[in-house]
Amino acid sequence: MGPGPSNIDPRVLQAMARPIIGHLDPQFIELMDDIKDLLRYAFQTENPLTFPISAPGSAGMETCFANLVEQGDKVLVCVNGVFGGRMKENVIRCGGEAIIVEDEWGAPVSSDKVEAALQAHPDINILAFVHAETSTGVCSDAATLAGIAKKYGCLTIMDCVTSLAGIPVLIDEWGIDAAYSGSQKCLSCPPGLSPITFSPRATDVVRKRKTKVQSWFLDLSLVMDYWSGEGARSYHHTAPINSMYALHESLLLLKDEGLKNSWARHETQHKFLKIGLENLGLSLLVDERFRLPQMNSVVIPGPLREREGDIRKALLSKHNLEIGAGLGDLAGKIWRIGLMGFGASEKNVETCIAALQSMLHAGLSSVS
C-alpha cells in the first residue's frame, strides 16, 4: 500500500507466466493490437499513436520530452512535487529551455500562474504538468490547464502515471497532446511498461522535427513502425513479451470492471480509509478539493516524526504492510498510502487501519 507498485491480481501474475512467443509472431501482433485498443479505452482517446513504451514511467516521460522538444524550444514546466522537477530535468537534457511555475508541495498547479507565464513568454511552445503528483497526493485541474495551453497555442505534455484508471483521465475531451503513464499504479500490473498516447497534432510535430530524436531507443519515428497497424512491422527492439501479457490482462480486467466503476471504487475505498485515519486522530495533508483517492498523504503527528522510519519498518516486518515515506521537504512529515487498482479494496483498507492502530498505540505509549 505504498505509492506503487500496487498489488497485482493473480490473473495478471499468471498471464505473465505464460510461455513466451516471438516479438514478430502473428499472435503477438494481435495482442499488440488489443493492447492499443484497450489503452485507448483507458486513456479515453482515439489517438492512433497509443501504445506502451518498453520501460518504466520515467522512460515514458523521456519519450514525450525527447520527441517533442528540440534544441532551444521553450517549455513551461509546472513544479509542485518530485515529478514536476523531473520534467524540468528532462527539458534541459533535451536542449530545451525550462521556464518554471512553482507551487507548494501539497498544493495543485495554479492555473493563474500558468496563464500569467504564458502571457509573459509568448514563445513558449509546450506546457508540461503532472496530473496526479505521486509525491504529494495532489490532483491538478488538467482540463483547465489544457484549455489555457490551447488558448496560447501550446502543446501539452501530461504525466498521468498515478491518475490513469484511478480518477478520470480524458485525453481527447481535455485536448491533451502527449501523456504517459505507468503500468504499476492503478493499472495494477508489474512495473516496467509505460503506456503513452500522442495526439495527431503531437505526432505531426514528431514527424516534422528538424533534428533527430537524441534517443534511438525512444525515437517514436522508429518505434511507431513496430507498433503501427499498417503493413509489415519492422523490427525495432525486442518487446518485453511477458510483461505485455500482464498489461493485456490488467487492461482486460479494467475493461470488464468499466472505467467509471474503477474510478468509483477508488473513491469509495479512499473514503473508508479517510474515516479510519480520522478515527485514529490522523489527518490528510492535501486539501479535500485536490485530494487523490489513490494516493493518500497522511500527516505524521509531531511526537512520532522522529521514529516514523521505525514505524514503517515495523509495519512491514510485523504486519506485512508497506506504506511509503515522504520525499523531499515532506520526508519525515508524511506517510504515503496507496489505494491503487487491485489494491483499492476494503480488505486492504481494513488491514491498513488495524495495523496503524496497533503501531500508533505502541508508538504513543512508548513516546509518552
Part in contact with a copy of itself (CB under 8 A); list of ranges 68-76, 237-245, 249-257, 290-298: 237-245
- The interface with a copy of itself within residues 299-338 (CB under 8 A) comprises 316, 322, 327
Interaction of residue 367 with a copy of itself, rule CB under 8 A: no
Interaction of residue 62 with a copy of itself, rule CB under 8 A: yes
Interaction of residue 143 with a copy of itself, rule CB under 8 A: no
CA distance 297 to 287: 11
Interaction of residue 341 with a copy of itself, rule CB under 8 A: no
Q: Which is nearer to a copy of itself, 62 or 308 (CB)?
A: 62
Asked if 127 and 140 touch (Cβ cutoff 8 Å), the reply is no
What's at 46, amino acid-wise? E
- Report the nearest approach of a copy of itself to the CB of residue 175 (Å): 27
- Report the nearest approach of a copy of itself to the CB of residue 55 (Å): 4
CA distance 308 to 245: 38
Interaction of residue 68 with a copy of itself, rule CB under 8 A: no
| 49, 59, 138, 158: which one binds a copy of itself (CB under 8 A) | 59
Q: Which is nearer to a copy of itself, 210 or 289 (CB)?
A: 210
Interaction of residue 171 with a copy of itself, rule CB under 8 A: no
Interaction of residue 85 with a copy of itself, rule CB under 8 A: no
Interaction of residue 268 with a copy of itself, rule CB under 8 A: no
Q: Three-state SS for 233?
A: coil
- The interface with a copy of itself within residues 180-219 (CB under 8 A) comprises 182, 184, 190-192, 212-217
For β-strands 155-159 and 178-180, DSSP reports them as parallel
Torsion of CA 172, 44, 200, 181, to 10 degrees: 110
**Helices (H), ranges, the chain:** 10-16, 26-43, 57-68, 82-93, 111-120, 142-151, 171-174, 200-207, 220-227, 241-257, 259-279, 308-319, 346-367
Interaction of residue 89 with a copy of itself, rule CB under 8 A: yes
Task: Please write down the HEC assignment for all residues of 163-209.
Answer: CECCECCCHHHHCCCEEECCCCCCCCCCCCCEEEEECHHHHHHHHCC
Part in contact with a copy of itself (CB under 8 A); list of ranges 146-154, 199-207, 242-250, 299-307: 242-250
Task: Give the count of residues interacting with a copy of itself (CB under 8 A).
Answer: 56
CA distance 142 to 162: 14
CA distance 265 to 269: 6
Q: Which is nearer to a copy of itself, 199 or 348 (CB)?
A: 348
Asked if 327 and 135 touch (Cβ cutoff 8 Å), the reply is yes
Instruction: Give the binding site for a copy of itself (CB under 8 A).
Output: 2, 4-5, 7-8, 13-14, 16-23, 25-26, 54-59, 61-62, 66, 86, 89-90, 92-94, 182, 184, 190-192, 212-217, 235-243, 246, 316, 322, 327
